[in-house]
A = this chain, B = another copy of it.
Amino acid sequence: MAQEDPSWKTFFEENPKPTNFDKNVKLIQDVCQHAAVKKNRVALITSGGTTVPLEQNTVRFIDNFSAGTRGSASAEYFLDAGYQVIFLHRSKSLEPYSRHLVGRNIFDMIEVLPDHITVGDKHQIELRVVAEKYQRHKCNLLMISFNTLADYLWLLQATAQKMQILGPLALLYLAAAVSDFYIPTSQMPHHKIQSSGGPLSLSLQLVPKMLAPLVTLWAPNAFVVSFKLETNETLLETKSKESLLKYHHNVVIGNILNSRKVYVTLVDSASSSAEEIRLSASDLENGVEIESKIVENLKIRHEKYYANHKTG
């Protein structure tokens, strides 16, 4: 497929690498090499939305709705499940562990005493639970951030390639909300678009589908999970299956914008029917997150995949 359609290659030729690229790739490589030696499973989790600049000196950009909830929560459950995690996330989107404090001001939780400051009594239990988990798992968590679509795709390619040495031990969980459209650098104005020019017309190109080279070239033996987000439920299962037929990866998780925190469908290349994962009323009452069930489900599928790979 890559030979027929080299549009993904053109994209990389036209869009320069992000800053700190080499440094980040080195960190990723170290994780993969170390894990390969120890036969550890590694999950790449992509998370958050990508931006598409409208100007070269960027003031305006198109963004995708994504706080990073799915990715950041899933990262914690993959760590709990014994994976090493590479968390490739949009800068300022939710991160594992610290996500539990978002929307709250840490200075409301700090008590100022004459000779030292400490965590207020009311917050001791809640913060202890998270702090203990974080400190237990942080050695298995590598966090790398991006902003633009191009930054993300460069880092995705490099990470997938570095994960190749892990073979079927590698799991890719592509939860980032990646833009479908962009404006090529050559068609972007250099300076901020002036409002005195009247109404604005924008023309956006399709972003090449990177799942094709990812599955066939960059990480051909990895277990690859992609996401489909729709707002229209009638399209969901069809589009998920189409995606699997087109790219030949392992699992598509389909979700609807308004119900994504309680309900997803899971389509596996090894079976034709969709599986539902749904939070029950008692799950909701007990604060169970759907990501714990998604990861539990994927862990089993990944184990089977790995076992087949060894024997097959």
Interface residues of A (CB under 8 A from B): 51, 54-55, 57-65, 67, 92, 95, 97-98, 101-102, 105-107, 110, 112, 116-119, 124, 127-128, 130-132, 134-135, 177, 179-181, 191-193, 195, 198-207, 229-232, 257-258
Contact of A117 among B58, B64, B124, B231 (CB under 8 A): B124
How far is it, in angstroms, between the C-alpha of A116 and the C-alpha of B258 when the chains are bound? 40
A-B pairs with beta carbons under 8 Å apart, 7 shown: A97-B107, A101-B106, A110-B131, A112-B135, A117-B119, A192-B231, A199-B205
Which residue on B lies nearest to A94, using beta carbons?
Answer: B92
How far is it, in angstroms, between the C-alpha of A62 and the C-alpha of B206 when the chains are bound? 17
Contact of A59 among B64, B67, B203 (CB under 8 A): B64
Among the interface residues A62, A107, A128, A131, which one has the most CB atoms of the partner chain B within 10 A? A107
How far is it, in angstroms, between the C-alpha of A135 and the C-alpha of B185 when the chains are bound? 47
How far is it, in angstroms, between the C-alpha of A199 and the C-alpha of B206 when the chains are bound? 5
Chain B proximity of A142: nearest CB distance (Å): 14
How far is it, in angstroms, between the C-alpha of A130 and the C-alpha of B112 when the chains are bound? 11
* Known contacts A128-B112, A199-B203; A58 and B63 CB within 8 A of each other: no
A206 touches B198 (CB 8 A): yes
How far is it, in angstroms, between the C-alpha of A59 and the C-alpha of B257 when the chains are bound? 8
